[in-house]
Structure 1
């Protein structure tokens, strides 16, 4: 199997490639980036399977030429609202299977519309297989399967837990930060009361998560909100949420209001967020059983004819203080790139063989097994025994 890793030397892609290089099913990996020196420098740190090339994804002919004789296109080239759909179209026309970590809802809709084209070409394209979207979708899918009928799905994560690696912090225009600004300004699409709606982000939504005190989530534009209704037509509500401490969201709302008013450009907002992140220190949080989860999927509906809800989450409190401390050290790169690597493995080993453009909850990935596989890979990165993080996934029910 030959992989073209577009953006594979970036702050997300490098974690996926470090894991993918060790897969026996992978024969060759080409790290492709507009910055040839960066691609070559990173490739030199990996094994003999890995090479590098310069690629400008804005050049359609060069893009298709790079995909010649490639089996799997791995796209970590952000921001996705610029590059996701064109790269997927090129992969389909080149006969390459495809996988990415797209976390923008707009191109997700565009890519889902390529489903028939992908099926006709016999291509399997899994989009958004990172942390959120990705793990959150699969957690929500597990929660949905606890119920007889589902009406509401929330996916969510703790914004305080986000940390960027040094490579990301050094980028003049960080794609992850730009994504955040895009999804917290203007309007974003959610599914509410049975229809898609455009709403202002960062609005509060009360989450009655089973086993915890009610907490406030804040609307954050993301693919999960627009993909779940595609697979679960009886849904009434599908929303992605972020939570964190009160001060964080006051700061976010002030900056985003300045952007919305035209008093601060998106680029300057990105630079401001990057500066705040670089100067910030990890906050000490008191242990509290009612604290919202680090990452979760929540479903509400009916169980045995009675209103019920289920939650599946990644917790940072396993009861083992040493492991809990290690979990706190997991960065955005690992928690996003390693699920992608597990998806690459499934594609390379033909464990993903359904054609079309597929969100993680489409049913082509067994959710519990995938999450455990991800945790085992993260354990390796942290130097822990393989099963160290298995207790980090928790399922709670209202009944």
Structure 2
């Protein structure tokens, strides 16, 4: 298999490429910087080659994509580049997977479903950590209930820090400012609506108890409601220290009021990022909820039940690894279902987590990848189930007491 990685010299692209280089016949590292792409290809060995690309050059992108079997896209922010790149890949007639974390381009790309299906290609959008792993945790939780009424997906802001910090805003920061400065999509009362972001949300996590998150503009409510149409409520939340939420809220309000531009707000956010803890392990010290999780509420065996599914093992301690490695696993699984889909519509969660396990820290047992808790369990059964050797086991056990 020949794989094209767009943005292959960026942090997420490099993380995905390192895994793919050992698994595919040839890897094409494509980036705006020819020198950076060449340096990455040289590090990865003989299976990797470098190609310069400006993703805004439609014809060049189509030609480059046609020379590969699947395109792995990490170029952000996706509200600028996502739909155009996917349109070019569909024209090239090649499969596609990306890490789109913006709801607006997610909806636009989903509208390309019929065009992709007619071309016979499968495109998976949002296969990172959140969205991506979070969607598959949600899918797992839904499968454990007879009926699901509400879903919450959550991720910890302290685990979303870039590997290299700088004073210039990264694509992730530009994305973040976009999502805290405009109304975001949520499911309320069975309908897709929009509301201001960073709304305080209490999650009653089974086996842990109440924890607080803040609504954030990620695509999970958009796609999960399409995959599970009976949902009454669905939100995505970020877990973060209060001072970080206050800063983001102030920047978002200033943008909405026209006091600063989104570009200026992103620059200020890049500077403020330096006050956040630099170690993602600090996520375990800032809040009682797991770093990446989904909670589904509904009924099981005729009684009310809440299922929590937390990622128990991690593919690394950086945002790049937590996003790029699941992306690469998604590319290797390469589902055959023509059209444009979110992860939960094409991947079986058990198979995905089994395939992800060898690339996680410590080569964990596949059965420890997801920690499942159920509000119907007794405390004794709950504590026994938590003893699974996962990285979040200690957190869950300590909060359950």
Q: TM-score, normalised by structure 1?
A: 0.88
The corresponding residue for 1:322 is none
Q: Distance in 2 between matches of 1:95 and 1:171?
A: 39
Farther off after superposition, 268-277 or 237-246: 268-277
Residue by residue over 1:127-155, the C-alpha shift from the partner in whole angstroms, topping out at 9 and shown as x without a partner, is 11110001000001110011001111111
From 224, 231, 251, the counterpart of 1:228: 224
Alignment deviations for residues 59-95 of structure 1 (CA, whole Å, 9 cap, x no partner): 1111112122221011111110111111111111111
Equivalent residue for 1:29?
A: 27
- Alpha-carbon distance between aligned partners in 2 of 1:171 and 1:378, rounded to the nearest angstrom: 31
Provide the C-alpha distance between the structure 1 equivalents of 2:8 and 2:245, rounded to a whole number of angstroms: 32
Residue of structure 2 equivalent to 1:320: none
Correspondence 1:185 to 2:167: no
Please give the root-mean-square deviation of Cα atoms over the aligned residues, in Å. Answer: 2.2
- Corresponding position: 1:241 with 2:237: yes
CA–CA distance in structure 2, aligned partners of residues 272 and 80 of structure 1: 21
Q: Is the 8 A contact 1:31 1:43 kept in 2?
A: yes
Do the aligned partners of 1:80 and 1:107 also contact (CA within 8 Å) in 2? yes
Q: Give 1:394's aligned residue.
A: 371
Judge which range, 124-133 or 366-375, deviates more: 366-375
User: In the alignment, is residue 305 of structure 1 matched against residue 302 of structure 2?
Assistant: yes
Secondary structure of the residue aligned to 2:347 is: coil
Aligned residue in 1 for 2:8: 8
Instruction: Describe the shift of the 1:114–1:329 C-alpha distance in structure 2 as closer, same or farther (beyond 3 A).
Output: closer
- How big is each residue's C-alpha offset from its partner over 1:323-355, in whole Å with a ceiling of 9 and x where there is no partner? xxxx697110000000011112112xxxx1122
Structure 1 segment 296-335 matched on structure 2, within 5 A = 296-315=293-312, 330-335=317-322
Contact 1:57 1:63 in 2 (8 A): yes
Distance 2:373 2:287 in 1: 13
Cα offset, 1:172, TM superposition: 3.2
Q: For residues 151 and 342 of structure 2, what CA distance do their matches in structure 1 show?
A: 15
- Describe the SS at the equivalent of 2:67: coil
Q: Pairwise mapping of residues 242-391 of structure 1 onto structure 2 (< 5 A)?
A: 242-282=238-278, 291-315=288-312, 330-347=317-334, 352-362=335-345, 364-379=346-361, 384=362, 386-387=363-364, 391=368
Structure 1 residues 45, 256: closer, same or farther in 2, change over 3 A?
A: same
Q: Residues 289 and 221 of structure 1: is their aligned pair in 2 closer, same or farther, counting only changes over 3 Å? A: closer
> How far has the Cα of 1:371 moved from its partner?
2.1
CA distance in 2, matches of 1:280, 1:60: 39
Q: Contact 1:294/1:315 (CA < 8 Å) preserved in 2?
A: no
Q: Are the aligned partners of 1:212 and 1:290 in contact in 2 as well (CA < 8 Å)?
A: no
Aligned length: 375
Measure the CA separation in 1 of the matches of 2:34 and 2:315: 33
Q: Which runs of 5+ in 2 are unaligned?
A: 377-401
Name 1:117's counterpart in structure 2: 115
Q: TM-score scaled to structure 2, two decimals?
A: 0.88
- 3-state DSSP of counterpart to 1:44: helix
Question: What stretches of structure 1 move > 4 A for 4+ residues in a row?
Answer: 282-290
Q: Secondary structure at the match of 2:153?
A: strand
Indicate the SS of the match to 1:3: strand
Kept in 1: contact 2:329–2:356 (CA 8 A)? yes
